[in-house]
Structure 1
Protein backbone atom coordinates (compact mmCIF):
# COMPACT_ATOMS: atom_id res chain seq x y z
CA UNK A 1 0.00 0.00 0.00
CA UNK A 2 2.76 2.46 0.94
CA UNK A 3 4.87 1.59 -2.10
CA UNK A 4 1.99 2.77 -4.34
CA UNK A 5 1.98 6.27 -2.79
CA UNK A 6 3.89 8.84 -4.85
CA UNK A 7 4.69 10.93 -1.76
CA UNK A 8 6.10 7.95 0.15
CA UNK A 9 9.29 6.05 -0.68
CA UNK A 10 9.42 2.66 1.04
CA UNK A 11 13.11 1.95 1.69
CA UNK A 12 12.93 -1.37 3.53
CA UNK A 13 11.07 -3.89 5.68
CA UNK A 14 12.41 -5.64 8.78
CA UNK A 15 11.33 -8.90 10.41
CA UNK A 16 12.64 -8.14 13.91
CA UNK A 17 14.08 -5.35 16.03
CA UNK A 18 17.74 -6.06 15.29
CA UNK A 19 17.08 -6.15 11.56
CA UNK A 20 15.22 -2.85 11.95
CA UNK A 21 18.31 -1.22 13.50
CA UNK A 22 20.50 -2.52 10.67
CA UNK A 23 18.09 -1.19 8.06
CA UNK A 24 17.89 2.22 9.74
CA UNK A 25 21.71 2.40 9.79
CA UNK A 26 21.82 1.52 6.09
CA UNK A 27 18.96 3.64 4.78
CA UNK A 28 18.69 6.57 7.27
CA UNK A 29 14.91 6.91 6.75
CA UNK A 30 12.90 10.03 7.60
CA UNK A 31 10.32 7.83 9.29
CA UNK A 32 9.96 4.36 10.82
CA UNK A 33 6.69 2.49 11.33
CA UNK A 34 7.40 -0.22 13.87
CA UNK A 35 5.54 -2.88 15.77
CA UNK A 36 5.86 -2.49 19.55
CA UNK A 37 6.25 -6.24 20.07
CA UNK A 38 8.99 -7.76 17.93
CA UNK A 39 11.41 -10.71 18.22
CA UNK A 40 15.01 -10.12 19.35
CA UNK A 41 14.44 -6.42 20.22
CA UNK A 42 11.10 -4.79 20.98
CA UNK A 43 9.88 -1.53 19.46
CA UNK A 44 10.43 0.49 22.65
CA UNK A 45 14.11 -0.47 22.91
CA UNK A 46 14.56 -0.05 19.16
CA UNK A 47 12.97 3.43 19.23
CA UNK A 48 15.35 4.58 21.98
CA UNK A 49 18.40 3.34 20.06
CA UNK A 50 17.22 4.80 16.74
CA UNK A 51 16.54 8.22 18.26
CA UNK A 52 19.84 8.21 20.11
CA UNK A 53 21.64 7.62 16.81
CA UNK A 54 19.34 9.63 14.55
CA UNK A 55 17.34 12.18 16.61
CA UNK A 56 15.51 13.58 13.57
CA UNK A 57 13.98 10.22 12.61
CA UNK A 58 10.24 10.16 13.24
CA UNK A 59 8.70 6.98 14.65
CA UNK A 60 5.12 5.72 14.52
CA UNK A 61 4.18 2.72 16.67
CA UNK A 62 1.89 -0.08 15.53
CA UNK A 63 -0.04 -1.76 18.32
CA UNK A 64 -2.97 -3.91 19.38
CA UNK A 65 -5.97 -2.78 21.47
CA UNK A 66 -4.71 -4.45 24.64
CA UNK A 67 -1.26 -2.82 24.51
CA UNK A 68 -2.21 0.55 26.04
CA UNK A 69 0.62 0.55 28.61
CA UNK A 70 3.11 -0.26 25.85
CA UNK A 71 1.76 2.56 23.67
CA UNK A 72 2.51 5.00 26.51
CA UNK A 73 6.02 3.55 26.90
CA UNK A 74 6.54 3.92 23.16
CA UNK A 75 5.51 7.59 23.26
CA UNK A 76 7.82 8.16 26.23
CA UNK A 77 10.61 6.50 24.22
CA UNK A 78 10.14 9.13 21.51
CA UNK A 79 7.46 7.88 19.09
CA UNK A 80 5.44 10.70 17.54
CA UNK A 81 2.27 8.71 16.93
CA UNK A 82 0.61 5.33 17.10
CA UNK A 83 -1.81 3.26 15.04
CA UNK A 84 -3.74 0.10 15.69
CA UNK A 85 -2.77 -2.71 13.34
CA UNK A 86 -6.25 -2.74 11.83
CA UNK A 87 -6.03 0.95 10.83
CA UNK A 88 -7.31 1.65 7.32
CA UNK A 89 -5.26 3.11 4.48
CA UNK A 90 -6.59 6.62 5.02
CA UNK A 91 -5.64 6.70 8.70
CA UNK A 92 -2.17 5.24 8.02
CA UNK A 93 -1.44 7.93 5.44
CA UNK A 94 -2.92 10.61 7.71
CA UNK A 95 -0.57 9.45 10.49
CA UNK A 96 2.46 9.50 8.17
CA UNK A 97 1.78 13.00 6.83
CA UNK A 98 0.82 14.39 10.27
CA UNK A 99 4.00 13.11 11.91
CA UNK A 100 6.11 14.15 8.92
CA UNK A 101 4.86 17.73 9.42
CA UNK A 102 6.17 17.64 12.99
CA UNK A 103 2.86 16.96 14.73
CA UNK A 104 1.73 14.16 17.03
CA UNK A 105 -0.76 11.60 15.71
CA UNK A 106 -3.28 9.99 18.08
CA UNK A 107 -5.12 6.97 16.68
CA UNK A 108 -8.84 7.62 16.25
CA UNK A 109 -9.61 4.49 18.30
CA UNK A 110 -7.90 5.90 21.42
CA UNK A 111 -9.91 4.93 24.50
CA UNK A 112 -10.60 7.24 27.44
CA UNK A 113 -8.37 4.97 29.54
CA UNK A 114 -5.45 5.31 27.12
CA UNK A 115 -5.95 9.09 26.93
CA UNK A 116 -5.77 9.18 30.72
CA UNK A 117 -2.57 7.08 30.73
CA UNK A 118 -0.96 9.42 28.18
CA UNK A 119 -1.91 12.51 30.20
CA UNK A 120 -0.39 11.03 33.38
CA UNK A 121 2.77 9.86 31.60
CA UNK A 122 6.05 11.70 31.05
CA UNK A 123 5.08 12.16 27.40
CA UNK A 124 4.27 15.80 26.63
CA UNK A 125 3.32 16.70 23.10
CA UNK A 126 2.29 20.23 24.07
CA UNK A 127 5.49 21.91 25.10
CA UNK A 128 4.30 25.37 24.11
CA UNK A 129 4.45 27.76 27.09
CA UNK A 130 0.73 28.49 27.13
CA UNK A 131 -2.18 26.71 25.54
CA UNK A 132 -4.42 28.59 23.12
CA UNK A 133 -7.24 30.60 24.63
CA UNK A 134 -10.72 29.18 24.15
CA UNK A 135 -14.03 31.00 24.45
CA UNK A 136 -16.63 29.74 26.92
CA UNK A 137 -18.63 28.33 24.00
CA UNK A 138 -15.56 26.51 22.63
CA UNK A 139 -14.85 25.04 26.08
CA UNK A 140 -18.45 23.86 26.26
CA UNK A 141 -18.12 22.17 22.87
CA UNK A 142 -14.72 20.67 23.80
CA UNK A 143 -16.30 19.02 26.88
CA UNK A 144 -19.11 17.57 24.77
CA UNK A 145 -16.65 16.32 22.12
CA UNK A 146 -14.69 14.60 24.91
CA UNK A 147 -17.91 12.89 26.01
CA UNK A 148 -18.25 11.44 22.50
CA UNK A 149 -21.23 13.55 21.39
CA UNK A 150 -21.70 13.99 17.63
CA UNK A 151 -21.99 17.41 15.98
CA UNK A 152 -25.74 16.80 15.62
CA UNK A 153 -26.11 15.98 19.34
CA UNK A 154 -24.00 18.97 20.40
CA UNK A 155 -26.14 21.22 18.22
CA UNK A 156 -29.33 19.94 19.85
CA UNK A 157 -27.91 20.39 23.35
CA UNK A 158 -26.65 23.93 22.70
CA UNK A 159 -29.37 25.05 20.27
CA UNK A 160 -26.90 25.45 17.41
CA UNK A 161 -27.00 24.14 13.87
CA UNK A 162 -24.90 21.11 13.03
CA UNK A 163 -22.93 23.25 10.58
CA UNK A 164 -22.14 25.84 13.27
CA UNK A 165 -20.90 23.09 15.60
CA UNK A 166 -18.71 21.67 12.81
CA UNK A 167 -17.24 25.15 12.32
CA UNK A 168 -16.43 25.36 16.03
CA UNK A 169 -14.90 21.87 15.94
CA UNK A 170 -12.64 22.81 13.03
CA UNK A 171 -11.39 25.93 14.88
CA UNK A 172 -10.84 23.90 18.08
CA UNK A 173 -8.76 21.30 16.20
CA UNK A 174 -6.71 24.09 14.61
CA UNK A 175 -6.10 25.84 17.94
CA UNK A 176 -5.07 22.58 19.60
CA UNK A 177 -3.05 21.52 16.56
CA UNK A 178 -4.62 18.05 16.61
CA UNK A 179 -6.34 15.92 13.99
CA UNK A 180 -9.15 14.03 15.70
CA UNK A 181 -11.26 13.47 18.83
CA UNK A 182 -8.50 11.52 20.55
CA UNK A 183 -6.20 14.52 20.20
CA UNK A 184 -8.92 16.81 21.61
CA UNK A 185 -9.43 14.55 24.65
CA UNK A 186 -5.72 14.33 25.45
CA UNK A 187 -5.22 18.09 25.00
CA UNK A 188 -8.29 18.89 27.13
CA UNK A 189 -7.10 16.61 29.93
CA UNK A 190 -3.54 17.99 29.80
CA UNK A 191 -4.82 21.55 30.03
CA UNK A 192 -7.54 20.86 32.64
CA UNK A 193 -10.39 21.84 30.32
CA UNK A 194 -12.12 18.61 31.36
CA UNK A 195 -11.54 16.27 34.31
CA UNK A 196 -10.74 12.62 33.90
CA UNK A 197 -13.83 11.50 35.85
CA UNK A 198 -16.05 13.38 33.39
CA UNK A 199 -15.13 11.07 30.53
CA UNK A 200 -14.23 7.73 32.13
Structure 2
Protein backbone atom coordinates (compact mmCIF):
# COMPACT_ATOMS: atom_id res chain seq x y z
CA UNK A 1 0.00 0.00 0.00
CA UNK A 2 1.42 3.41 -0.94
CA UNK A 3 1.17 6.65 1.00
CA UNK A 4 -2.14 8.49 1.19
CA UNK A 5 -1.31 12.20 0.93
CA UNK A 6 -3.43 13.95 3.55
CA UNK A 7 -4.18 17.55 4.51
CA UNK A 8 -5.95 18.63 7.72
CA UNK A 9 -7.92 21.90 7.86
CA UNK A 10 -9.16 23.17 11.24
CA UNK A 11 -8.93 26.51 12.98
CA UNK A 12 -8.04 24.91 16.33
CA UNK A 13 -4.27 24.43 16.25
CA UNK A 14 -4.17 22.13 19.28
CA UNK A 15 -6.71 19.78 17.67
CA UNK A 16 -4.75 19.80 14.40
CA UNK A 17 -1.48 19.10 16.14
CA UNK A 18 -2.93 16.21 18.13
CA UNK A 19 -4.41 14.67 14.99
CA UNK A 20 -1.17 15.21 13.10
CA UNK A 21 0.87 13.51 15.84
CA UNK A 22 -1.39 10.47 15.84
CA UNK A 23 -1.40 10.17 12.04
CA UNK A 24 2.39 10.61 11.84
CA UNK A 25 2.72 7.12 13.30
CA UNK A 26 0.72 5.53 10.47
CA UNK A 27 3.01 4.02 7.81
CA UNK A 28 0.59 4.49 4.89
CA UNK A 29 -0.55 8.07 5.65
CA UNK A 30 1.63 11.03 4.72
CA UNK A 31 0.47 14.33 6.24
CA UNK A 32 1.56 16.84 3.60
CA UNK A 33 0.04 20.00 5.06
CA UNK A 34 -2.22 21.78 7.53
CA UNK A 35 -4.53 24.76 7.13
CA UNK A 36 -6.33 26.99 9.63
CA UNK A 37 -9.25 27.97 7.41
CA UNK A 38 -10.81 27.34 4.00
CA UNK A 39 -8.76 29.96 2.16
CA UNK A 40 -5.52 28.56 3.51
CA UNK A 41 -6.70 25.10 2.44
CA UNK A 42 -7.27 26.21 -1.16
CA UNK A 43 -3.91 28.01 -1.26
CA UNK A 44 -2.20 24.86 0.03
CA UNK A 45 -3.79 22.64 -2.59
CA UNK A 46 -2.61 24.96 -5.35
CA UNK A 47 0.97 23.86 -4.65
CA UNK A 48 0.58 20.44 -3.02
CA UNK A 49 -0.46 17.03 -4.38
CA UNK A 50 -3.24 15.75 -2.14
CA UNK A 51 -5.40 12.61 -2.05
CA UNK A 52 -7.57 13.19 1.02
CA UNK A 53 -8.61 16.32 2.93
CA UNK A 54 -10.04 16.28 6.45
CA UNK A 55 -11.74 19.60 7.11
CA UNK A 56 -13.71 21.20 9.90
CA UNK A 57 -17.16 22.47 9.00
CA UNK A 58 -16.93 25.80 10.82
CA UNK A 59 -13.82 27.89 10.15
CA UNK A 60 -13.13 31.64 9.85
CA UNK A 61 -12.71 33.40 6.48
CA UNK A 62 -14.07 30.40 4.55
CA UNK A 63 -16.00 27.49 6.05
CA UNK A 64 -15.54 23.84 5.17
CA UNK A 65 -18.66 23.62 3.00
CA UNK A 66 -17.69 26.57 0.79
CA UNK A 67 -14.11 25.34 0.60
CA UNK A 68 -15.31 21.86 -0.41
CA UNK A 69 -17.42 23.17 -3.30
CA UNK A 70 -14.54 25.28 -4.61
CA UNK A 71 -11.93 22.60 -4.01
CA UNK A 72 -13.86 19.92 -5.92
CA UNK A 73 -14.40 22.24 -8.88
CA UNK A 74 -10.63 22.64 -9.14
CA UNK A 75 -9.49 19.19 -7.95
CA UNK A 76 -12.32 16.68 -8.51
CA UNK A 77 -10.07 13.73 -7.67
CA UNK A 78 -9.58 14.83 -4.04
CA UNK A 79 -11.59 12.93 -1.40
CA UNK A 80 -12.98 14.99 1.46
CA UNK A 81 -13.92 14.01 5.02
CA UNK A 82 -15.93 16.44 7.15
CA UNK A 83 -14.96 16.91 10.80
CA UNK A 84 -17.93 17.88 12.93
CA UNK A 85 -19.32 18.28 16.42
CA UNK A 86 -22.16 16.04 17.57
CA UNK A 87 -24.89 18.69 17.08
CA UNK A 88 -24.09 19.73 13.50
CA UNK A 89 -26.37 17.35 11.59
CA UNK A 90 -27.61 19.95 9.11
CA UNK A 91 -24.07 21.05 8.31
CA UNK A 92 -22.98 17.43 7.82
CA UNK A 93 -25.79 16.95 5.27
CA UNK A 94 -24.75 20.17 3.48
CA UNK A 95 -21.17 18.94 3.41
CA UNK A 96 -22.19 15.62 1.82
CA UNK A 97 -24.31 17.48 -0.73
CA UNK A 98 -21.27 19.66 -1.49
CA UNK A 99 -19.28 16.55 -2.39
CA UNK A 100 -17.68 15.17 0.78
CA UNK A 101 -17.14 11.40 0.79
CA UNK A 102 -17.61 10.97 4.53
CA UNK A 103 -17.72 12.55 7.95
CA UNK A 104 -16.35 12.00 11.44
CA UNK A 105 -17.24 13.37 14.82
CA UNK A 106 -14.24 15.08 16.39
CA UNK A 107 -14.22 12.60 19.27
CA UNK A 108 -13.78 9.62 16.90
CA UNK A 109 -11.12 7.16 18.01
CA UNK A 110 -7.84 6.47 16.21
CA UNK A 111 -9.07 3.30 14.51
CA UNK A 112 -12.15 5.01 13.06
CA UNK A 113 -10.14 8.00 11.82
CA UNK A 114 -7.71 5.72 9.97
CA UNK A 115 -10.60 3.65 8.62
CA UNK A 116 -12.31 6.80 7.32
CA UNK A 117 -9.16 8.01 5.54
CA UNK A 118 -8.45 4.66 3.88
CA UNK A 119 -12.12 4.16 2.95
CA UNK A 120 -12.60 7.46 1.16
CA UNK A 121 -9.20 7.04 -0.50
CA UNK A 122 -10.60 3.78 -1.92
CA UNK A 123 -13.65 5.78 -3.14
CA UNK A 124 -16.02 4.40 -0.50
CA UNK A 125 -18.52 6.51 1.41
CA UNK A 126 -17.76 6.64 5.13
CA UNK A 127 -20.46 7.26 7.73
CA UNK A 128 -19.32 7.85 11.31
CA UNK A 129 -20.22 4.95 13.62
CA UNK A 130 -22.00 7.39 15.94
CA UNK A 131 -24.49 8.38 13.24
CA UNK A 132 -27.85 8.95 14.91
CA UNK A 133 -31.17 7.78 13.47
CA UNK A 134 -32.05 11.46 13.02
CA UNK A 135 -28.94 12.15 10.94
CA UNK A 136 -29.40 8.95 8.89
CA UNK A 137 -32.96 10.05 8.06
CA UNK A 138 -31.74 13.55 7.12
CA UNK A 139 -29.10 12.08 4.79
CA UNK A 140 -31.73 9.87 3.13
CA UNK A 141 -34.00 12.87 2.50
CA UNK A 142 -31.15 15.02 1.18
CA UNK A 143 -29.84 15.44 -2.36
CA UNK A 144 -26.84 13.30 -1.42
CA UNK A 145 -27.13 10.00 -3.27
CA UNK A 146 -23.90 8.11 -3.94
CA UNK A 147 -25.94 5.19 -5.28
CA UNK A 148 -27.53 7.16 -8.13
CA UNK A 149 -25.24 5.87 -10.88
CA UNK A 150 -24.51 2.49 -9.32
CA UNK A 151 -25.90 -0.67 -10.95
CA UNK A 152 -28.91 -2.21 -9.17
CA UNK A 153 -27.98 -4.40 -6.22
CA UNK A 154 -30.01 -7.48 -5.40
CA UNK A 155 -30.24 -9.10 -1.99
CA UNK A 156 -31.54 -12.53 -1.07
CA UNK A 157 -34.48 -12.78 1.32
CA UNK A 158 -32.05 -13.95 4.00
CA UNK A 159 -29.79 -10.93 3.41
CA UNK A 160 -32.78 -8.58 3.58
CA UNK A 161 -33.76 -10.13 6.90
CA UNK A 162 -30.23 -9.67 8.26
CA UNK A 163 -30.04 -6.09 6.92
CA UNK A 164 -33.20 -5.22 8.84
CA UNK A 165 -31.83 -6.71 12.05
CA UNK A 166 -28.48 -4.94 11.62
CA UNK A 167 -30.38 -1.66 11.28
CA UNK A 168 -32.22 -2.46 14.51
CA UNK A 169 -28.82 -2.76 16.27
CA UNK A 170 -28.87 -6.54 16.77
CA UNK A 171 -25.44 -8.13 17.22
CA UNK A 172 -24.30 -11.07 15.10
CA UNK A 173 -24.94 -13.36 18.08
CA UNK A 174 -28.47 -12.00 18.56
CA UNK A 175 -29.26 -12.23 14.84
CA UNK A 176 -28.09 -15.84 14.81
CA UNK A 177 -30.31 -16.74 17.75
CA UNK A 178 -33.29 -15.03 16.17
CA UNK A 179 -33.06 -16.66 12.74
CA UNK A 180 -31.37 -19.92 13.78
CA UNK A 181 -27.95 -19.42 12.22
CA UNK A 182 -24.50 -19.61 13.77
CA UNK A 183 -22.74 -16.36 14.67
CA UNK A 184 -20.05 -17.18 12.11
CA UNK A 185 -22.64 -17.63 9.33
CA UNK A 186 -24.26 -14.30 10.23
CA UNK A 187 -20.86 -12.57 10.17
CA UNK A 188 -20.25 -14.03 6.70
CA UNK A 189 -23.59 -12.65 5.49
CA UNK A 190 -22.78 -9.27 7.08
CA UNK A 191 -19.42 -9.10 5.30
CA UNK A 192 -21.08 -9.78 1.93
CA UNK A 193 -23.81 -7.23 2.63
CA UNK A 194 -21.23 -4.50 3.39
CA UNK A 195 -19.31 -5.42 0.23
CA UNK A 196 -22.47 -5.21 -1.91
CA UNK A 197 -23.42 -1.84 -0.39
CA UNK A 198 -19.81 -0.58 -0.58
CA UNK A 199 -19.99 0.63 3.04
CA UNK A 200 -17.78 0.03 6.08
CA UNK A 201 -20.04 -0.16 9.14
CA UNK A 202 -23.55 -0.36 10.57
CA UNK A 203 -24.20 3.35 9.99
CA UNK A 204 -23.56 2.80 6.27
CA UNK A 205 -25.95 -0.15 6.23
CA UNK A 206 -28.68 1.95 7.88
CA UNK A 207 -28.34 4.82 5.38
CA UNK A 208 -28.27 2.43 2.41
CA UNK A 209 -31.26 0.48 3.73
CA UNK A 210 -33.31 3.65 4.28
CA UNK A 211 -32.31 5.09 0.90
CA UNK A 212 -33.31 1.86 -0.87
CA UNK A 213 -36.49 1.13 1.10
CA UNK A 214 -35.12 -1.98 2.81
CA UNK A 215 -36.34 -0.58 6.14
CA UNK A 216 -38.59 2.33 7.08
CA UNK A 217 -37.69 5.29 9.27
CA UNK A 218 -40.61 4.37 11.55
CA UNK A 219 -39.03 0.99 12.32
CA UNK A 220 -35.90 2.70 13.64
CA UNK A 221 -37.77 4.88 16.16
5 Å matches for 1:156-175?
156-175=177-196
The residue that corresponds to 2:161 in the other structure is 140
Contact 1:131–1:191 (Cα < 8 Å) also in 2: no
Task: Identify which of 98, 104, 119 aligns with 2:125.
Answer: 104
The residue that corresponds to 2:67 in the other structure is 46
In structure 2, list runs of 5 or more residues that go unmatched: 1-21
Q: SS of the residue aligned with 1:32?
A: strand
- The change in CA–CA distance for 1:11 and 1:129 in structure 2 (over 3 A counts) is closer
For 1:63 and 1:124, the matched residues in 2 are separated by 20
Q: Say yes or no: does 1:177 pair with 2:191.
A: no
Task: Identify which of 44, 58, 63 aligns with 1:37.
Answer: 58
For 1:140 and 1:39, the matched residues in 2 are separated by 47
In structure 1, list runs of 5 or more residues that go unmatched: none
For 1:161 and 1:154, the matched residues in 2 are separated by 9
The residue that corresponds to 2:80 in the other structure is 59
Q: Say yes or no: does 1:76 pair with 2:70.
A: no
Greater strand share, structure number? 2
Following superposition, the deviation at residue 154 of structure 1 comes to 1.0
For 1:146 and 1:50, the matched residues in 2 are separated by 34
Following superposition, the deviation at residue 155 of structure 1 comes to 1.2
Q: Say yes or no: does 1:117 pair with 2:138.
A: yes
Compute the TM-score of the two structures, normalised by the length of structure 2.
0.87
Following superposition, the deviation at residue 129 of structure 1 comes to 4.6
Deviates more, 1:159-168 or 1:63-72: 159-168
For 1:161 and 1:30, the matched residues in 2 are separated by 41
